[in-house]
């Protein structure tokens, strides 16, 4: 049973505030273990990787290479059902086309003084993509992480994926091939992150590491941050559905359960102004739960973190939605545009009754790596911008320097920085 | 004495690689202390702030308010020299005009299937700017951090600045006023970061915290990251000057010292193809050092981390520059554009002999908050983009859903996610 909150109830604000701060994951403190693994990989390179892979994944690098060969990739792809291959290709094409629009443009110009200014964008040279092993290994995530890097112009994209129990999910290798990634290593955990950050005899280091992982991977990414760039540390997934009375409760229940089945820490929230709909959705959730292969996970998520919030009218949902700042926001209402205008904080918005969030997970074209845990208040989903960086450019001639020098010298002096003042003054034979 | 490296020498690669990994700061492990302070501020709010401010800054909130009043700001500004006020205003105007060009545009469109896609940008609602106390309190940094937020449309910008020993630098208050910031609290350290992240009775929480600080502030920012956004954790400053023979050694020496005077951990590097110039610059550095008020700091930085690298020709400087990935790169050569084309990794590039880096610190218009410690390989300087976030938008009608459904269902099934498949299928009366 999800919790029920009713705006207008006396204790609503208190209960809603408490709801907002509910922790949905227990982050195990694995920092010391991770630190030791990273130092070991730095010191011993491939030998350390071999040892950890044998111990944690049961993979023996004296029998199978660390790098996945072309032949293995070809053989794996042959095992993927044709309809899945086609679906991956359609997804890739749509993702690539959408992300191509995100490429930032250089902006080089002269201002009225004749000072040259500019922003120039360049791709990061090498990026590592961490792909989890086992059931958390999603081919769609390979596309969502690798394709923006490819569109950005990243020359070298490396995948690490643990061959937990010996095998790599063939669909993951298919997705990698479709995304154009050929450098794939069967390693995982903190040791894979360390190898990507510092390099080993076999693996050249990268400049940025992206992709989801367990607590060890997340801790390792935090620890190597600075040496390399990292993406956000994603938490459990969440959806907020804002619905009016004119909805099929079964559709909404399916959407709520699509989040809930991800993870026991996932969160599904319905906000509506219609009590009968709310009750019907709740009943539909209970009914649909029975026929899910991951019903245990979904039921736990719905029971622990699910919520139904009743509001007097849909406009009243907006301030709540902005405080929740959901990763996914569905607007299942007659006029979604009117509501959207009032949404400030959300990772992605899905407009109307025929846009289930799941389309965005796979084939919409937009990215499914989105800010969780209310971080849409200050951050964005993954995009091409995460794989480029901006260099600013400044150009003065003697005339421009003369115009700006007095102000620069005055500020340098007021900050007590003599050499700063001198560096400008000396070029104009002024007093530094 | 800076170190000398000569490309072509047998041990060059080894020495250069070692040079690249030299640590320039000792990061004290203050995590436990900082954690305790943050928890205390969360628990006791203003009372904790009062206690820490009395203990660490000698400020008694029973005698003077936590918030700086309008009267105090006005009185402080009256103390600032008119030429410094004018310089701040010129700088602010130029920074604002340049940053206005960085505002990203929404991109809402329909693809060939009729699927609505889009990226919509919104400003972060509230941002906190940490300003250090004492001699590290730079008015120019107030402008560089606050103005991009203002340009982005951030509605609430809050400054915290410790009144170390009782007073706040009047020029900092002047810069805040010019940047339009009126909400200023005289608190600092980890307690200020905690107050900004979690709020107290007096201070409403913000969604992102930016600005430089000491080891305690940096550790506190790392710890509250996730609850709020943070900017990069900046390290000591650095400059790389690439110079041909046709330079005045005194100009280059002044530029190298302008970095060195910041901090004992700052780094100044000269790369040239001309041995006589290199020797003349070194001599000029020694000469100029004598007349600097911060000569002790500058001398230590130059001795410990300064470097002169000789290359056979200037093109050979490029791969080295890209590995160094300097925060500031000066191209003091006849044809800086030709060299710039080969630069991939740099925070900011200063073109030609009349563009000392110091202009960029104050009045160039570009931002002086730039990636340090080789992080220009994967990150960018502060910009308007740091104060906005992107929401992606997806809109399908029944026709578009029918087109994309089979691929979405195939991928959901291949990932073992039943409820995902159902959420699409149920809307089309298909088999989930």
Read off the pLDDT of residues A38-97 as tens digits, 9 standing for 90 and up.
999 999 999 999 999 999 999 999 999 999 999 999 999 999 999 999 999 999 999 999
Q: What is the pLDDT of residue B165?
A: 73
Determine whether the interchain pair A362/B138 forms a contact, defined as Cβ–Cβ distance below 8 Å: no
Q: Give yes or no for a contact between A193 and A158, defined as CB atoms under 8 angstroms apart.
A: no
Q: How far apart are CA A175 and CA B330, in angstroms?
A: 43
Q: What is the pLDDT of residue B47?
A: 98
Name the DSSP class of B159.
E
Name the DSSP class of A56.
I
The set of residues, in sequence order, having a beta carbon less than 8 Å from that of B117 and lying 6+ positions away, is A98, A364, A365, A366, B108, B109, B110, B111, B392, B393, B394, B395
Which residue of chain B is at minimal alpha-carbon distance from A336?
Answer: B395
pLDDT at residue A136 tops 90: no
pLDDT band at A431 (very low <50, low <70, confident <90, very high): low
For residue B185 the two structure tokens come to 């609290």
Give the residue carrying structure tokens 């203050």: B30
Chain B residues inside the 8 Å CB shell of A255: 423
Q: What is the pLDDT of residue A327?
A: 98
Among A237, A277, A243, A241, which Cα is nearest to A259's? A237
SS3 call for A288: helix
First to last CA, chain B: 73
Q: DSSP for B162-183?
A: --GGG---HHHHHHHHHTT--E
Residue B410 has its nearest CB partner, among A87, A356, A393, at: A87
- A80, A381, A423: which to substitute to probe chain B, counting the most B Cβ within 10 Å? A423
What is the rounded average pLDDT of the residues A133-137?
79
SS3 call for A344: coil
Q: From 3.40.190.10, 3.40.50.1460, 3.40.50.1980, 3.40.50.720, which CATH number describes the A31-103+123-230 domain?
A: 3.40.50.1980
Sheet of B229-230: strand order equals B183-185, B156-160, B126-130, B208-210, B229-230
Q: How far apart are CA A263 and CA A136, in angstroms?
A: 10
Q: Give yes or no for a contact between A207 and A126, defined as CB atoms under 8 angstroms apart.
A: yes
pLDDT band at A137 (very low <50, low <70, confident <90, very high): confident
Give the residue carrying structure tokens 């993702």: A95
Among A372, A250, A252, which Cα is nearest to A308's? A252
CATH 3.40.50.1980 fits B3-25+235-364, yes or no: yes
Q: How far apart are CA A281 and CA A302, in angstroms?
A: 12
Q: Give yes or no for a contact between A114 and A339, defined as CB atoms under 8 angstroms apart.
A: no
Q: What are the helix (H) ranges across A103-248? A: 139-152, 170-178, 189-198, 215-224
In chain A, the percentage of residues whose pLDDT exceeds 90 is 92
Q: Give yes or no for a contact between A328 and A347, defined as CB atoms under 8 angstroms apart.
A: yes
Q: From start to end of A54-169, where are the E strands?
A: 107-110, 116-123, 126-130, 156-160
* Catalytic annotation, pick one of A96, A261, A327, A357: A327
For the stretch B285-334, pLDDT in tens is 999 999 999 999 999 999 999 999 999 999 999 999 999 999 999 999 99
How far from the centroid of its chain's Cα atoms is residue A286's Cα? Answer: 30
For the stretch A286-337, pLDDT in tens is 999 999 999 999 999 999 999 999 999 999 999 999 999 999 999 999 999 9
**CA distances for A247 relative to A338, A401, B152, B403, angstroms:** 18, 65, 38, 22
* Catalytic annotation, pick one of B96, B98, B238, B328: B328
Q: Give yes or no for a contact between A315 and A226, defined as CB atoms under 8 angstroms apart.
A: no
What is the rounded average pLDDT of the residues A220-240?
91
For the stretch A250-265, pLDDT in tens is 999 999 999 999 999 9
Which phi and psi angles does B310 have, rounded to 5°? -95, 130
Q: Give yes or no for a contact between B93 and B175, defined as CB atoms under 8 angstroms apart.
A: no
Distance from CA of A99 to the nearest CA of B (A): 10
Chain B residues inside the 8 Å CB shell of A364: 115, 117, 394, 396, 404
Q: Give yes or no for a contact between A261 and B418, defined as CB atoms under 8 angstroms apart.
A: yes
For the stretch A59-71, pLDDT in tens is 999 999 999 999 9
For residue A295 the two structure tokens come to 């019903």
Q: What is the pLDDT of residue A93?
A: 98
Q: How far apart are CA A272 and CA A246, in angstroms?
A: 11
pLDDT at residue B233 tops 90: no
Q: Give yes or no for a contact between A324 and A242, defined as CB atoms under 8 angstroms apart.
A: no
Quote the ipTM score. Answer: 0.96
Determine whether the interchain pair A298/B419 forms a contact, defined as Cβ–Cβ distance below 8 Å: yes
For residue B9 the two structure tokens come to 């020498």
Q: How far apart are CA B170 and CA B173, in angstroms?
A: 5
Please state, rounded to an integer, the average pLDDT across all residues of chain A. Answer: 95
Q: From 3.40.190.10, 3.40.50.1980, 3.40.50.2300, 3.40.1190.20, which CATH number describes the B31-103+124-230 domain?
A: 3.40.50.1980
Paired sense of beta strands A126-130 and A156-160, if any:
parallel
Q: What is the dihedral of CA A411, A414, A415, A417, to 10 degrees?
A: 80
The set of residues, in sequence order, having a beta carbon less than 8 Å from that of B125 and lying 6+ positions away, is A344, A345, A377, B154, B155, B156, B207
Q: Give yes or no for a contact between B234 and B372, defined as CB atoms under 8 angstroms apart.
A: yes
On whether B354 is known to bind a ligand per the annotation, the reply is no
The set of residues, in sequence order, having a beta carbon less than 8 Å from that of B30 and lying 6+ positions away, is B215, B216, B219
Among B169, B181, B234, which Cα is nearest to B206's? B181
Residue A350 has its nearest CB partner, among B260, B261, B394, at: B394
pLDDT at residue B27 tops 80: no
pLDDT at residue B432 tops 80: no
Helix (H) or strand (E) run with residue B311 in it: none
How far from the centroid of its chain's Cα atoms is residue A426's Cα? Answer: 49
Size of interface A-B (CB pairs under 8 A): 369
Of A432 and A228, more confident: A228
On whether A191 is known to bind a ligand per the annotation, the reply is yes
Determine whether the interchain pair A383/B390 forms a contact, defined as Cβ–Cβ distance below 8 Å: yes
Q: Give yes or no for a contact between A137 and A167, defined as CB atoms under 8 angstroms apart.
A: no
Q: Where are the domains of chain B?
A: 3-25+235-364, 31-103+124-230, 396-428
pLDDT at residue A27 tops 80: no
First to last CA, chain A: 73
For the stretch B44-88, pLDDT in tens is 999 999 999 999 999 999 999 999 999 999 999 999 999 999 999
The set of residues, in sequence order, having a beta carbon less than 8 Å from that of A115 and lying 6+ positions away, is A394, A395, A396, A400, A404, B364, B365
Lowest-pLDDT choice from A24-33, A246-255, A361-370, A382-391? A24-33
Q: Give yes or no for a contact between B189 and B211, defined as CB atoms under 8 angstroms apart.
A: no
Determine whether the interchain pair A419/B381 forms a contact, defined as Cβ–Cβ distance below 8 Å: no
- The reply to whether B3-25+235-364 and B31-103+124-230 are identical in fold is yes
B261 labelled catalytic: no
pLDDT at residue B28 tops 80: no
Residue B415 has its nearest CB partner, among A139, A226, A365, at: A139
Among A214, A200, A134, which Cα is nearest to A166's? A134
Determine whether the interchain pair B87/A394 forms a contact, defined as Cβ–Cβ distance below 8 Å: no
For residue A243 the two structure tokens come to 């619905």
Residue B394 has its nearest CB partner, among A366, A373, A412, at: A366
pLDDT at residue B234 tops 60: yes
Distance from CA of B62 to the nearest CA of A (A): 31
Which residue of chain B is at minimal alpha-carbon distance from A411?
Answer: B84
Exposure on the CB side of residue A351, measured as CA atoms within 13 A: 21
Between helices A249-260 and A295-305, what is the axis angle to 10°? 100
Which phi and psi angles does B217 have, rounded to 5°? -65, -45
Chain A residues inside the 8 Å CB shell of B208: 378
Q: Give yes or no for a contact between A227 and A219, defined as CB atoms under 8 angstroms apart.
A: no
Q: How far apart are CA A315 and CA A321, in angstroms?
A: 10
- B114, B142, B256, B394: which to substitute to probe chain A, counting the most A Cβ within 10 Å? B394
Q: What is the pLDDT of residue A333?
A: 98
Q: Give yes or no for a contact between B396 and A146, defined as CB atoms under 8 angstroms apart.
A: no
Determine whether the interchain pair B363/A404 forms a contact, defined as Cβ–Cβ distance below 8 Å: yes
Name the DSSP class of A180.
T
Give the residue carrying structure tokens 């923006």: A148
Q: How far apart are CA A261 and CA A248, in angstroms?
A: 20
For the stretch B334-390, pLDDT in tens is 999 999 999 999 999 999 999 999 999 999 999 999 999 999 999 999 999 999 999
Q: What is the dihedral of CA A56, A60, A62, A63, to 10 degrees?
A: -160
Q: DSSP for A11-40?
A: THHHHHHHHHT---------HHHHHHHHHH
Distance from CA of A193 to the nearest CA of B (A): 16
Among B204, B209, B203, B202, which Cα is nearest to B224's? B209
Among B361, B373, B127, which Cα is nearest to A392's? B361
For the stretch B207-217, pLDDT in tens is 999 999 999 99
Fold of domain B396-428: 1.20.5
Distance from CA of A356 to the nearest CA of B (A): 7
Q: How far apart are CA B310 and CA B241, in angstroms?
A: 12
Chain A residues inside the 8 Å CB shell of B376: 389, 391
Chain B residues inside the 8 Å CB shell of A291: 418
Q: What is the pLDDT of residue B391?
A: 98
Q: What is the dihedral of CA B378, B216, B27, B270, to 10 degrees?
A: 60
Q: Give yes or no for a contact between A385 and A101, defined as CB atoms under 8 angstroms apart.
A: no
Q: How far apart are CA A176 and CA A183, in angstroms?
A: 9
pLDDT at residue A432 tops 60: no
What is the rounded average pLDDT of the residues B1-28?
89
- B292, B378, B401, B426: which to substitute to probe chain A, counting the most A Cβ within 10 Å? B378
Q: How far apart are CA A192 and CA B357, in angstroms?
A: 39
The set of residues, in sequence order, having a beta carbon less than 8 Å from that of B43 and lying 6+ positions away, is none
Q: What is the pLDDT of residue A167?
A: 85
Distance from CA of A62 to the nearest CA of B (A): 31
Most distant CA atoms of chain A, gap in Å: 83
Chain B residues inside the 8 Å CB shell of A171: 414
For the stretch B105-121, pLDDT in tens is 999 999 999 999 999 99
pLDDT band at B276 (very low <50, low <70, confident <90, very high): very high
Distance from CA of A139 to the nearest CA of B (A): 8
Q: What is the pLDDT of residue B24?
A: 87
Chain A residues inside the 8 Å CB shell of B293: 416, 418
Which residue of chain B is at minimal alpha-carbon distance from A403?
Answer: B363
Residue A365 has its nearest CB partner, among B107, B117, B124, at: B117
B327 labelled catalytic: yes
């Amino acid at each position: 049973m999800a919790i029920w909150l009713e705006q207008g109830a006396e204790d609503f604000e208190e209960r809603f505030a408490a709801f907002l701060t509910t922790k949905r994951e227990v982050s195990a403190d694995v920092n010391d273990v991770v630190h030791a693994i990273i130092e070991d990989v730095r010191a011993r390179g491939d030998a350390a990787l071999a040892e950890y892979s044998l111990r944690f994944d049961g993979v023996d690098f004296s029998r199978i290479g660390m790098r996945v060969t072309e032949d293995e990739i070809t053989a794996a792809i042959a095992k993927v059902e044709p309809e899945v291959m086609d679906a991956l290709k359609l997804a890739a094409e749509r993702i690539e086309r959408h992300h191509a629009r995100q490429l930032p443009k250089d902006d080089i110009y002269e201002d009225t003084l004749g000072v040259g200014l500019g922003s120039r964008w360049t791709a990061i040279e090498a990026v590592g993509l961490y792909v989890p092993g086992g059931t958390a290994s999603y081919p769609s995530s390979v596309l969502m992480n690798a394709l923006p890097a490819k569109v950005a112009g990243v020359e070298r994209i490396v995948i690490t994926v643990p061959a937990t129990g010996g095998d790599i999910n063939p669909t993951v290798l298919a997705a990698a091939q479709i995304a154009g990634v050929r450098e794939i290593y069967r390693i995982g955990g903190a040791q894979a992150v360390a190898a990507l950050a510092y390099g080993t005899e076999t693996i050249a280091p990268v400049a940025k590491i992206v992709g989801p992982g367990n607590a060890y991977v997340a801790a390792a990414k935090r620890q190597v941050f600075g040496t390399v760039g990292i993406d956000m540390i994603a938490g459990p997934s969440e959806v907020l559905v804002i619905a009016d009375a004119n909805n099929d409760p079964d559709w909404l229940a399916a959407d709520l359960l699509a989040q809930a089945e991800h993870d026991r820490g996932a969160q599904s929230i319905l906000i509506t102004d219609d009590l009968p709909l709310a009750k019907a959705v709740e009943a539909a959730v209970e009914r649909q739960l029975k026929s899910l292969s991951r019903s245990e996970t979904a039921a736990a998520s719905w029971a622990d973190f699910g919520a139904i919030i009743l509001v007097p009218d849909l406009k009243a949902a907006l301030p709540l939605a902005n405080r929740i700042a959901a990763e996914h926001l569905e607007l299942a209402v007659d006029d979604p545009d009117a509501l959207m205008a009032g949404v400030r904080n959300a990772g992605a918005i899905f407009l109307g009754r025929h846009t289930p969030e799941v389309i965005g997970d796979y084939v919409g074209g937009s990215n499914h790596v989105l800010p969780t845990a209310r971080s849409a208040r200050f951050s964005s989903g993954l995009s091409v911008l995460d794989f480029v960086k901006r260099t600013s450019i400044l150009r003065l001639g003697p005339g421009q320097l003369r115009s700006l020098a007095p102000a620069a010298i005055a500020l340098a002096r007021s900050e007590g920085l003599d050499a700063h003042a001198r560096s400008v003054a000396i070029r104009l034979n002024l007093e530094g």
